[in-house]
């Protein structure tokens, strides 16, 4: 039996966070991910010399990383960190209280008692504008200093902590940090960041990894070539005025290759098209610039060659053709890639490894008749998943790499190496246009906000072209700088956060940066700004993923949407991919309604899909409550016809074990899920805050949670609740 060739392809990407107007970095994510995932992932390979992988390093990320390493970059978060806590202004204190908890609460805040206590003191929701002065006064200078330290300390990955003993000592100390210790932490950040690019280069030079690139500012190449290309995969979409500039796609590719050669000394053989976005029109362009292979999602393959089974199609490379041009292309195993990205973090490393290996065995059985060595392409973000793992992914990856190093039936490969040894045999004549998300471009075009962004981009680009043509003698450096702003604004990340698909605490920052790059074009040419660029594209009322309760409710718990009015006064959390730059394509719950009367909390869960469209066998709902104590309620996602309609309430006191409290009958599940529980059973009194979240498990393994990294919060009402809300 041929061994399975496993190609891990880690995509390392950050957009350009530098504000072109102020020349300051507005967000710290290159720095923070640098000391975590970017360093961990390549450093860990030093312990496993027989593990071979491919890394994609996006140029917009590399340029920022170099500036941090060379001391040329600073960000607003770093400036707020370095300022002595005793000298912080009220405005700076407000910034810290609202923004220094931007980390995964479960894995990067809660494990550290001091950091968690500070979050609990501030509250699970960021203070509103009219509340911030009250919260600012409630924190001492030492608490601000400890918060400055913990925001930076919690982001260090396991390899950096192992390398820098002083970091481990500070983690153990936990609180009462000094200004000197804070400066030490920032110094260690700089040291780790300086090591990242040389380490990637060193490990590639010894042959263990292959490094590839993406278009410079990570644009969606098919849409740069022609936004109307979205019509094939999105026939019903309303598209903006046509934008078609394949010359910009060429510029983004050429500039990426040149930077890669400058940093790593050679041209990349492979390219990850931003968000796995492909179309036939890209093939001649990529071939022109010497790219040998690209990769994308299995959905593109299945739509390019309809009629054949997934197992027969997926585990091999292909040749994609357009006219006389052709390029090698591989396709990601979406199931396994997404398990690493989203699911394995919720289980023990041992269970996750066993599941991974069992899936490999099944693939090997299913394609055992093939004459060629099968290729399993596991492609995903190289930094984002590890925030969700309790230990940053160390245990799972260590067990995984140990297993793959020792097992003869598996072989890890660099993608170029595999293509050289096993050239593609099958041809794709009509490459389906789309991305690795639902094999379309819906995330980046088609919504009102997306389309407005494309219109702004087109108008600014048209202005620049016409202005240059009509005004001779403009200095070349000004022309070059202006085009740089256009290329930056073409990046996919700005459009990722437009529309209803995704939301984060930084939506306003991304909107501001996108428009700032367009504004800079006019500034460079000394032309007055068009007024529309001062108006945010983000629709403000959509920023919050939930509305709060406004009146008492007492719904009939019958598992159906009986009438419009019974949940009218409830709060509503709309489930969307909040606070993440990764995508997952499945879900069980679309909305969470929550309300109350004086005695009870009422919860309603609306399914994301029809029952027949999701796997419900073995799926159970866990309702978590966090206040003075921790409680949980457990029941199946769907009751069997003969099953008793009940749920069990559990309580955790000071131990790690939950004990059963009581069985309740106040639940029904039909087209929706409805249940209630008295406040007194949750140990809650009027005026106390309640924090809750929903977890889904399948055969005991967590598969999702809502909200993913936060809690929904409200205050237990008293008799004056409705009067207060009416007054407000």
Q: For residue 642, what pLDDT is reported? A: 85
Q: The tokens 């022609």 sit on which residue?
A: 226
Among 349, 576, 280, which residue's Cα sits nearest to residue 443?
576
Say which DSSP state 229 is in.
Answer: G
User: Can you tell me the distance from the alpha carbon of 240 to that of 247, in angstroms, rounded to the nearest whole number?
Assistant: 20
Q: For residue 539, what pLDDT is reported? A: 66
Among 384, 378, 463, 452, which residue's Cα sits nearest to residue 415?
378
Peptide bond into 707 cis (omega under 30): yes
Among 706, 69, 103, which residue's Cα sits nearest to residue 387?
103
Among 596, 591, 627, 540, which residue's Cα sits nearest to residue 722?
596
Which residue(s) pair with 378 in the sheet? Answer: 8
Q: For residue 541, what pLDDT is reported? A: 42
Asked if 297 contacts 263 with a C-beta cutoff of 8 angstroms, the reply is no
pLDDT below 50 — which residues of the chain? 540-544, 577-579, 581, 585, 726-728
User: Can you tell me the distance from the alpha carbon of 189 to that of 170, in angstroms, rounded to the nearest whole number?
Assistant: 14
Q: Please indicate, yes or no, whether the overall pTM of this predicted structure exceeds 0.85.
A: no
Q: What domains, with CATH codes, occur in the chain?
A: 24-52+59-205 (no CATH), 448-542 (1.20.1430), 546-727 (2.60.40.10)
Tokens of 278: 């492909």
User: Can you tell me the distance from the alpha carbon of 353 to that of 402, in angstroms, rounded to the nearest whole number?
Assistant: 10
Element (H, E) at 230: helix 230-233
Q: The tokens 């009220």 sit on which residue?
A: 90
Element (H, E) at 603: strand 600-607
Asked if 522 contacts 463 with a C-beta cutoff of 8 angstroms, the reply is yes
Give the CA distances from residue 130 to residues 88, 135, 689, in Å, rounded to whole numbers and listed in that order.
20, 10, 19
- The bridge status of strand 630-636 relative to strand 571-574 is unpaired
Q: For residue 67, what pLDDT is reported? A: 97
What SS3 class is residue 660? strand
Asked if 218 contacts 444 with a C-beta cutoff of 8 angstroms, the reply is no
Q: For residue 544, what pLDDT is reported? A: 45
User: Can you tell me the distance from the alpha carbon of 554 to that of 565, in angstroms, rounded to the nearest whole number?
Assistant: 10
Q: The tokens 């010894």 sit on which residue?
A: 206
Provide the 10 A C-beta neighbour count for residue 358: 10
Residues near 470 by beta carbon (within 8 Å), at least 6 away in sequence: none
User: Can you tell me the distance from the alpha carbon of 59 to that of 61, in angstroms, rounded to the nearest whole number?
Assistant: 5
User: Can you tell me the distance from the alpha carbon of 190 to that of 67, in angstroms, rounded to the nearest whole number?
Assistant: 11
Q: For residue 413, what pLDDT is reported? A: 98
Asked if 669 contacts 639 with a C-beta cutoff of 8 angstroms, the reply is yes
- The bridge status of strand 53-57 relative to strand 4-12 is parallel
Sign of dihedral through CA atoms 702, 707, 711, 714? negative
Q: For residue 613, what pLDDT is reported? A: 61
pLDDT digits (tens, 9 = 90+) for 128-179: 777 888 899 999 999 999 999 999 999 999 999 999 999 999 999 999 999 9
Element (H, E) at 81: helix 76-82
Provide the 10 A C-beta neighbour count for residue 503: 20
Q: For residue 576, what pLDDT is reported? A: 61
With the CA atoms of 559, 564, 565 and 566 taken in that order, what torsion angle do they form, in degrees rounded to the nearest 10?
Answer: 10
Asked if 574 contacts 546 with a C-beta cutoff of 8 angstroms, the reply is yes
User: Can you tell me the distance from the alpha carbon of 307 to that of 303, in angstroms, rounded to the nearest whole number?
Assistant: 9
Q: Give one DSSP letter per residue of 542-594, joined into a string.
A: GSSSEE---S------SSS---TTTTTTSEEEE--EET-S------SEEEEEE
The size of the chain, in residues, is 728
What's the maximum distance between 2 C-alpha atoms anywhere in the chain? 83
Element (H, E) at 701: strand 701-706
User: Can you tell me the distance from the alpha carbon of 435 to that of 498, in angstroms, rounded to the nearest whole number?
Assistant: 17
Long-range pairs for 494-498 at CB < 8 Å and ≥24 separation?
A: 494/15, 494/453, 495/220, 495/443, 495/444, 495/445, 495/450, 495/453, 495/454, 496/443, 496/444, 496/581, 497/538, 498/447, 498/449, 498/450, 498/452, 498/453, 498/537, 498/538
Q: For residue 529, what pLDDT is reported? A: 84
Q: Residue 599: what are its φ and ψ, rounded to 5°?
A: -105, -30
With the CA atoms of 392, 396, 401 and 406 taken in that order, what torsion angle do they form, in degrees rounded to the nearest 10?
Answer: 160
């Amino acid at each position: 039996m041929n061994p399975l060739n496993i190609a891990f392809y880690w995509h390392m990407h950050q957009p350009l966070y530098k504000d072109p107007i102020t020349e300051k970095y507005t967000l710290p994510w290159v720095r923070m991910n640098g000391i975590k995932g970017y360093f961990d992932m390549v450093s860990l390979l030093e312990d496993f010399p027989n593990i071979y992988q491919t890394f994609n390093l996006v140029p917009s990320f590399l340029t920022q990383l170099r500036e941090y390493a060379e001391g040329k970059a600073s960000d607003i978060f770093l400036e707020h960190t370095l300022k002595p806590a005793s000298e912080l202004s009220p405005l700076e204190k407000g910034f810290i209280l609202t923004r220094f908890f931007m980390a995964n609460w479960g894995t990067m805040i809660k494990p550290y008692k001091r950091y968690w206590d500070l979050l609990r003191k501030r509250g699970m929701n960021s203070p509103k504008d009219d509340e911030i002065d009250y919260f600012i006064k409630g924190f001492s200078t030492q608490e601000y200093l400890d918060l400055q330290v913990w925001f930076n300390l919690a982001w260090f990955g396991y390899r950096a902590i192992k390398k820098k003993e002083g970091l481990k000592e500070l983690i153990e100390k936990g609180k009462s940090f000094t200004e000197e210790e804070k400066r030490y932490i920032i110094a260690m950040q700089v040291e780790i960041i300086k090591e990242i690019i040389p380490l990637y280069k060193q490990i590639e030079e010894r042959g263990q990894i292959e490094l590839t690139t993406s278009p410079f500012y990570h644009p969606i190449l098919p849409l740069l070539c022609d936004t109307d290309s979205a019509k094939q995969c999105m026939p019903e979409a309303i598209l903006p005025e046509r934008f078609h500039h394949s010359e910009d796609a060429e510029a983004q590719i050429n500039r990426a290759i040149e930077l890669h050669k400058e940093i790593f000394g050679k041209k990349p053989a492979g390219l990850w098209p931003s968000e796995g976005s492909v179309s036939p029109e890209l093939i001649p362009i990529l071939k022109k610039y010497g790219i040998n292979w690209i990769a994308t999602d299995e959905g593109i393959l299945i739509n390019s060659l309809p009629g054949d089974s997934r197992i027969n199609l997926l585990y091999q490379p292909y040749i994609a053709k357009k006219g006389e041009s052709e390029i090698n292309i591989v396709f990601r195993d979406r199931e396994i890639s997404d398990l690493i990205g989203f699911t394995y973090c919720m289980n023990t490393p041992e269970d996750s490894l066993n599941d991974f290996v069992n899936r490999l065995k099944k693939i090997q059985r299913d394609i055992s008749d093939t004459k060629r060595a099968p290729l399993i392409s596991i492609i995903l973000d190289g930094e984002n998943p590890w925030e969700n793992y309790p230990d940053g992914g160390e245990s799972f990856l260590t067990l995984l790499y140990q297993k793959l190093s020792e097992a003869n039936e598996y072989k890890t490969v660099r993608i170029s190496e595999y293509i050289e040894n096993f050239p593609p045999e099958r041809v794709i004549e009509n490459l389906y246009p789309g991305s690795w998300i639902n094999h379309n471009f819906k995330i980046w075009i088609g919504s009102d906000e997306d389309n407005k962004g494309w219109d702004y981009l087109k108008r600014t680009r048209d202005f620049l072209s016409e202005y240059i043509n009509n005004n001779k003698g403009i200095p070349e450096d000004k022309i070059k700088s202006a085009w740089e702003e256009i290329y930056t604004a073409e990046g996919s990340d700005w459009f990722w956060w437009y529309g209803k698909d995704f939301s984060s605490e930084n939506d306003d920052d991304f909107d501001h940066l996108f428009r700032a790059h367009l504004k800079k074009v006019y500034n460079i040419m000394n032309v007055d700004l068009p007024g529309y660029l001062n108006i945010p594209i983000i629709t403000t009322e959509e920023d919050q993923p939930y509305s709060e309760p406004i009146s008492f409710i007492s719904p009939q718990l019958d598992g159906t949407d009986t009438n419009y009015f019974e949940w009218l006064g409830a709060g509503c959390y709309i489930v969307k991919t909040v606070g993440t730059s990764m995508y997952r394509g499945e879900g069980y719950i679309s909305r969470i309604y929550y309300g109350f009367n004086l005695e009870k909390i009422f919860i309603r869960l609306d399914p994301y899909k029809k029952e027949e469209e999701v796997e419900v066998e073995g799926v159970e709902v866990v309702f978590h409550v966090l206040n003075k104590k921790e409680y949980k309620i457990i029941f199946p996602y769907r009751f069997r016809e003969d099953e008793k309609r009940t749920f069990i309430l559990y309580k955790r006191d000071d131990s790690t074990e939950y004990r059963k409290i009581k069985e309740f009958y106040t639940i029904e599940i039909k087209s929706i899920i409805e249940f209630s529980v008295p406040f007194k059973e949750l140990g809650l009194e009027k005026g106390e805050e309640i924090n809750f979240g929903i977890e889904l498990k399948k055969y005991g393994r967590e598969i999702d949670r809502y909200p993913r990294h936060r809690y929904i919060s409200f205050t237990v009402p008293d008799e004056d609740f409705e009067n207060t809300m009416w007054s407000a």
